[in-house]
Amino acid sequence: MEAPEPGAGSSAVAELAGASRSGDRRATARLLSLVERGGDPADEVASATQAHVGEAHVVGITGAPGSGKSTITNSLTTLLAEAGRRPAVLAVDPSSPLTGGAILGDRVRMSGASEAGVFIRSMATRGHAGGLALAVPGAVRVLDAAGFDPVVVETVGVGQVEVDVTAAADTTVVVVAPGWGDAVQANKAGLLEVADLFVVNKADRPGATDARRNLDLMLDLSTAITRPGTGRPSITMTTATEGDGIGELAAAVAGHLDLLCEGGELGQRREKRRIAEVRAHLEHLLAGAADEALTTEGLQPVQASESPMMAARRLARKLLG
């Protein structure tokens, strides 16, 4: 089946969604391409998959570039696939100008998981209309509806948007590597607040125990920074290149989901996630309306006596009125 072109209509998309649910990975890949491109086809994909979401455990893996997120993701999902699960990976690289295809380094780093049957998709979101906040939840929905579980989202934790996106997972894992100030950097980037679980990776390197101690100290200093619902985040030591500690990490991830379910926190987090997604779409729609208002009206209606704020209010009344 050919991927429907934009505007091809919802029946073609519904057909793809059906094929994707029955395990057709090419159909899943095509749905993801439509989501990535944005616009009307992405909306059709969202409608076609909506009835089938909510089964997957969505796990975010974030941290500084080079901390070992891809290597951990590879080892973790390989282990899960070998245990009979159906994991999928969404590797988000907001800095990459590439689209659609896998990013070379990640492809190498994830080759083990790929051989184990893990579905892996790299997503370059630069230039995507609406950006990460729209593309990532849409792609997660496609993978969830396709029956993958867990859905692991790897994102570089560098900016507010990236952190927000990963924190929108059910379970957020923050990866720290030994090295001067790595934990401090993670704190500055706002990563400690969103962590449900910590990994100190590169445990084979000097300074790993110090990194762990630093994290522990930071958690001691502020009990307020832990996310609600599941208590103080645990810290797992890993050497991802060797697979060491990955079994413990898998257990910590599963244990966190159990806690979320027991406390009723899972439903609350997902509701918040839905609201955030609606908000992202609303902002996108309003931004589009603002652009249109300014180009069709020109700046003519703005009088010299009128402040920019007054002009904006007047246009807003017209738009929303």
Ligand X SMILES: Nc1nc2c(ncn2[C@@H]2O[C@H](COP(=O)(O)OP(=O)(O)O)[C@@H](O)[C@H]2O)c(=O)[nH]1
Q: Binding residues for Mg ion, per CB under 5 A?
A: 69-70
Segment interacting with ligand X, rule: CB under 6 A, options 20-28, 131-139, 206-214, 237-245:
237-245
Q: Which is nearer to Mg ion, 49 or 70 (CB)?
A: 70
Q: What span, in angstroms and rounded, lies between the C-alpha atoms of 128 and 132?
A: 8
Helix (H) or strand (E) holding 185: helix 182-188
Tell me if 240 contacts ligand X by CB under 6 A: yes
Among 239, 246, 256, 277, binds ligand X (CB under 6 A): 239
Q: Is the dihedral of CA 12, 40, 270, 63 positive or negative?
A: positive
Does 68 bind ligand X (CB under 6 A)? Our answer is yes
Interaction between residue 205 and ligand X (CB under 6 A): yes
Stretch that binds ligand X, among 9-17, 50-58, 69-77, 253-261 (CB under 6 A): 69-77
Shortest distance, position 170 Cβ to ligand X, whole Å? 21
Nearer Cβ to Mg ion (70/239): 70
How far apart, in whole angstroms, are the C-alpha atoms of residue 32 and residue 139?
Answer: 6
Quote the CA–CA distance of 206 and 63 in Å, as a whole number: 19
Contact pick of 69, 128, 212, 256 for ligand X (by CB under 6 A): 69
- The angle formed by the CA atoms of residues 135, 140 and 143, to the nearest 5 degrees, is 130
What does the buried/exposed string (b/e) look like for 284-307 if buried means 16 or more CB atoms within 10 Å of the residue's CB? beeeeeeeebeeeeeeeebeeeee
- Using the rule CB under 6 A, is 65 a contact of ligand X? yes
Q: Which residues contribute to the site for ligand X (CB under 6 A)?
A: 63, 65-71, 109, 201-202, 204-205, 239-241
